[in-house]
Structure 1
Amino acid sequence: MRSAWKEDLQSSPAELVYGEPLRLPGQFLSPKDDYQTADVTQYATRLRAYMAKLSPRPTTWHTSTSAFYIPRDLQTSSHVFIRQDRVRGALEPPYAGPYKVVNRQPKYFTLDVNAKNVNVSIDRLKPAYATKEAQVPAHPADDDVKKTSSGRRVRLPDFYRP
């Protein structure tokens, strides 16, 4: 809307449309004629009193004490998995292991990894749940298995077997 004064009309286009002059954004912030400024010393005194009443707000702590989930079974399991903390390939598992636990400390476990004792933080560990397997004899009965002179097993097709 045009608010410029037109000499030939003796008004602005806004006055012709609305019947009264428009108030422009700069006129909202301009001081009024009857507004009197307060004494500067009174203002400074009130500001000092207000600032003296303010007290600092205590800071808050938004982090939890335990950032990692630690399973309860970790303290009793004999074997654990170690989480791989690196960028993995497409089909690479997130955990390596299982590894035997040699020693337990409050924050780390000592594990037997490739015949070496390695300290690993418990944040990276996960208990390994193993099923109890039936005892399989170390040497199966080789009485009915035929072998060649070089030691290879001879396996006959099913239609030749009695």
Structure 2
Amino acid sequence: TNRLTNAMRSVKPVSTRPQSTDVFVQPDLRYSTHVFVRQDSHRRPFESAYEGPFKVLQRESKYYIVDKNGTNDSISIDRLKAAYLEGNPIHVDFPSVQSHNTTLTLIIPQSTTNTSDDTPNVSKNKIKTTRSGRRVRFPEHLNDYCT
């Protein structure tokens, strides 16, 4: 047991691996008047990864204080990207995205003149509406099978 104790005392712990992960910071970030802020949350398809541009109010070594929609937010420089604006910055309000539940109705004007040969053809081929709302006209030879 004495030999085991001496052997365990001579064992040195393994040094940890380096944990520094370098984050790229744009060189122009410290001179920019406006910045984009990266969204770290889940995004929908085709949604931009960055919000903004927002005006920079104060710069610190690791974070900037940004005027984000009227509130002063301190944001880490890891989430910022320099905004290159032409002339004076212009704030643009984009309309909100419409929900997927909106239905569009298509109104097809019908001609006022009906020919006599079109009317019997429409009565034979009844226009059916599928469950998804699509209107279909089946061929005449399948009329016996359509309910």
Give the alignment partner of residue 74 of structure 2, picking from 119, 126, 133: 119
Please list every run of at least 4 consecutive aligned residues from structure 1 whose deviation after the TM superposition is greater than 4 angstroms.
none
Q: TM-score, with normalisation over the residues of structure 2?
A: 0.51
Q: Is there any run of 5+ residues in structure 1 with no aligned partner, and where?
A: 1-43, 134-162
Alignment of 1:2-41 (within 5 A): none
Secondary structure of 1:117's counterpart equals: strand
Matching residue's letter, 2:57: V
Matching residue's letter, 2:71: K
Give the alignment partner of residue 88 of structure 1, picking from 43, 49, 53: 43
Shift of the 49–117 alpha-carbon distance from structure 1 to 2, 3 Å rule, reads closer
Secondary structure of 1:75's counterpart equals: helix
Shift of the 52–87 alpha-carbon distance from structure 1 to 2, 3 Å rule, reads closer
Shift of the 53–111 alpha-carbon distance from structure 1 to 2, 3 Å rule, reads closer
Cα RMSD between the aligned structures?
2.5
Per the alignment, residue 61 of structure 1 pairs with 17
Q: Is there any run of 5+ residues in structure 2 with no aligned partner, and where?
A: 89-147
Q: TM-score, with normalisation over the residues of structure 1?
A: 0.47
- Distance in 1 (CA, whole Å) between partners of 2:40 and 2:77 is 13
- Distance in 1 (CA, whole Å) between partners of 2:13 and 2:75 is 41
- Distance in 1 (CA, whole Å) between partners of 2:67 and 2:9 is 63
Give the alignment partner of residue 60 of structure 2, picking from 84, 105, 115: 105
Shift of the 100–56 alpha-carbon distance from structure 1 to 2, 3 Å rule, reads same
Identity %: 36
The one-character-per-residue Cα deviations of 1:67-90 (angstroms, maximum 9, x if unpaired) are 422111111111100001111000
Secondary structure of 1:51's counterpart equals: helix
- Distance in 1 (CA, whole Å) between partners of 2:45 and 2:7 is 60
Whose radius of gyration is greater, 1 or 2?
1
Secondary structure of 2:28's counterpart equals: helix
